[in-house]
Chains A and B, each alone.
Chain A
Amino acid sequence: MKSSFWRRFRRNKGAVFGLVVLALVALVTALGPLVAQHDPWDMAGMPFAAPLAEPGMPLGTDTMGRDILSGIVAGARVSLLIGVVSTVVSLFIGVGVGAVAGYFGGWIDATLMRFTELFQAIPSFALAIVLVAIFEPSVQSIVAAIAVVSWPPVARLVRSEFLTLRQRDFVAAAQLAGQSTPRIILTQILPNAASPIVVMASLMIATAILLESSLSFLGLGDPNRMSWGYMVGSARTVLRQAWWMAVFPGVAILMTVLALNLVGEGLNDGLNARADGKGK
């Protein structure tokens, strides 16, 4: 099973490219201090230094003389952290709500889905801004805000998977064997719903990174953490004089999000055996 997954995943060249980019980003995050020696908040050189103008600062400096490379390396850490943690949190909420709604059906399903629609009816970015503004900006509040706005699609997906899977005979067999309901949900049904959830999670990380960047761009990021969105936001006023301040963090966002989307597509191919062309 493992090898056929890899075979299908590898056939998608974009996904392999995405995986390489993600590995690079992860590597940079892990080895951050070795790549960029400067503190991202320190004035390391002359303000407005163009790329390669000063030694040790290949991507130049920003309006306050801070090293842009160091900023991008530090921002990678924040972006990935927020992306992954908020996705995990929203998966917990979404899978929980969706599983309960889909398994029990009836009025439980109706109530939970109306609750879910409540969140879907509000524009998610506006809700995230409001949430971050209420609890002052910090990594925790940003993670919470992103998680709160991004779980409804997960809940809907998991619910629809559960609705079909709970009709399967193996679930009936587990019921007849006297297995408890939580056990049936967790060990019988959830593993069979895993593939679409994994694919969706990879795309959600990308969305979360974009959301975080957008919040930081608007000045709602954690003031103690350097982030890509903040860098683009602060460079916006000098865009015509110093292109590099916005372009490099922008490219970092673009590449990471693109890579996650490509990997998500590859996961979809890999986990979906029916797309193999040789299924029944």
Chain B
Amino acid sequence: MTMDAIPVPVLDVQDLDIRLPAGGDRALAVRGASLRLMAGQTLCVVGESGSGKSMIANAIMGLLPRPHVEPVAGRIVFDGQDLLQLGEDGLRTLRGRRIGMVFQEPMSALNPVMRIGEQIAEVFDAHVRLPAAEKRRRILAALADVGLPEPEVLIDSYPFRLSGGQRQRVVIACALALEPALLICDEPTTALDVTTQAQILALIRDLQRRKGTAVLFITHDFGVVAEIADQVVVMQTGQVVEAGGAAAVLARPQHAYTRKLIAAIPDGRVRAPSAERPVERVLQVQDLRKTYVTGGTLFRKGRRVEAARGLSFELRRGETLGLVGESGSGKSTVGRCIVGLSPFDGGRVLFNGRTMQSGAQFRAQSQGRIQMVFQDPYASLNPRHRVGPTIAAGPIAQGLPRAEAMARALELLQLVGLGPEAAERFPHEFSGGQRQRIGIARALAMRPALLVADEPVSALDVSVQAQVLALFAEVRERFQLAMVFITHDLRVAGEMCDHIAVMQRGEIVEYGETAKVLADPRHAYTRTLIEAQPRLSAAARPEALAA
């Protein structure tokens, strides 16, 4: 890149150090980070959780929780001035006007008691004086700009009427209302479904092209990087380990960590189906129905949500079924029904050929032989219990002597790749991936015949995700487990599952062998899901693997 040919960068971060409070896991959250962003370009900062990537964004906006976390060295040059030297007043004139920001969680980024129009109006009120009619016209234009339908109606609605994707569009409209020179996006699509994510990424790309905004895009997902980035900065434990053009970094990653991250992306390899299917049917679900009624009173009918509308599928020993769908498709409800955590309204569930009763008897009948691995590794372990007793509690409840149960717990800890000394520690001493391993050990302690995994890797970093998936595959072979694997990620489902059932609004719209479903989707919705997956370009992939 020839520096003198290109004018001054919009944003120039030089040797930034950000200090963590004493007692943290490292002294500096960010160490010597430099990055530079040109007008009209997108710079992706990529890294796993704890790499300090969000710290940089917050430092630029002056949002760090001072004095606990504070920039101690370096410069952030924007508009020819060092943002770190700027006082709160100076920053306030820049925020919203010259720098816009989009946050990760669209559900909490909007004030629930303010109309959409008022929230965008706040941006105008803070920086420019406009007559009311002119302001309204510009708000409508901003809403139309981000592709929201019927701006005239939306402007006077409250956020709860909008879906997550629509709310993120409103947040983007707020951030871009005054046409800032720099837009900071902090994981703006992480909380969204894949199809919505694809739309939001397309929107950001499109707006950038039209307005020439420079975009600083923070993400953990190399698939997203491939979709949107011009430049990439890879961060590991607070340091920039690799920087360069997006295409170059993706095709020829230089640093080992970058290679590891890229290799960890599920690449759509499909699990080879076993030659002969085992005959033993572990789970048969016939015409399962479940309806939630919410907010009803004696006199008023509540809202009915049909989470499962006549679902049928079956699962044999050693096989894995993927339940794939977006949030609200009912896949988690199905998971809770077939382990007996929620009663179902209709249909039959047969476990090892026995019809299971709905409700509390279900769990008594299954005797712990149906187990579940949960999504959130932080909520699924009791923070007050040591790991060993947590794993041993299930077998003890089923009548196994304590000493034997503890021995089994130690054995399983070894199996999932944690030492026996882990048994004496508390969950908060472990990382997310390690906690998920403990969750798997706890499920295996019951010697289950059926394991239901509800989004078990979606809360984990990609590299950890790959390890946990490998562990799932290993224990499946070893114990000949039948598994129901609930996920929103087709890439993960393709890697793990023999069969895939695609769910939409409580119905299975497509059900078949993984390879067939992915290669030759019959239903339009399946095709949409497959197309929406962010992926590395086909050209980049083989080289990356070979490197």
Which A residues have a C-beta under 8 Å from some C-beta of B? 1, 168-170, 172-180, 183, 187-188, 191-192, 277-278
Contacts and interface: CB of A to CB of B under 8 A. Distances in A.
B428 to A, nearest CB: 8
Contacts of B426: 1
B384 A183 contact: no
B380 interface: yes
Contacts of A1: 426
Nearest to B22: A278
Nearest to B394: A177
A175 B367 CA distance: 11
A176 B68 contact: no
A273 B382 CA distance: 16
A178 B379 contact: no
Contacts of B397: 177-180, 183
A178 B365 CA distance: 10
Interface of B: 21, 23-24, 65, 68, 339-341, 363-364, 367-368, 370-372, 374-376, 379-385, 393-394, 397-398, 426, 439, 442-443, 446
A179 B393 contact: yes
A177 B393 contact: yes
The 10 closest A-B pairs by CB, nearest first: A177-B394, A169-B380, A169-B374, A191-B384, A170-B382, A179-B397, A178-B397, A178-B368, A278-B21, A169-B379
A170 B368 contact: no
Contacts of A170: 379-382
Contacts of B364: 178
Given A178-B397, A178-B398, A278-B21, A173 B374 contact: yes
A175 B384 contact: no
Contacts of B68: 277-278
Contacts of A174: 382, 393
B340 A176 contact: yes
B380 A176 contact: no
Main secondary structure on B side of the interface with A = loop
A192 B385 CA distance: 10
B235 to A, nearest CB: 18
Contacts of A179: 393-394, 397
A179 to B, nearest CB: 5
A187 B340 CA distance: 22
Contact of B341 (A172, A183, A192): A172
Given A169-B374, A192-B382, A176 B341 contact: yes
Contact of A177 (B375, B383, B384, B446): B446
A176 B363 contact: yes
B125 to A, nearest CB: 32
A169 B335 CA distance: 13
30 contacts: A168-B379, A169-B374, A169-B375, A170-B379, A172-B341, A172-B372, A173-B380, A173-B439, A173-B442, A174-B382, A174-B393, A175-B341, A175-B363, A176-B341, A176-B368, A176-B370, A176-B372, A177-B394, A177-B442, A178-B368, A178-B394, A179-B397, A180-B397, A183-B397, A187-B385, A191-B385, A277-B21, A277-B65, A277-B68, A278-B21
A131 B312 CA distance: 62
A233 B265 CA distance: 77
Nearest to A180: B397
A168 B378 CA distance: 10
Contacts of B446: 176-177
Contacts of A188: 382, 385
Nearest to A171: B382
Most buried by A among B339, B397, B439: B397
Given A176-B370, A177-B397, 11 more contacts: A170-B379, A176-B368, A176-B446, A177-B398, A178-B364, A178-B397, A178-B398, A179-B393, A179-B394, A192-B382, A192-B384
Contacts of A180: 397
B15 to A, nearest CB: 25
Contacts of B394: 176-179
Contacts of B398: 177-178
B23 to A, nearest CB: 7
Contacts of A172: 341, 372, 374
Most buried by A among B363, B376, B393, B446: B393
Contacts of A173: 372, 374, 380, 439, 442-443
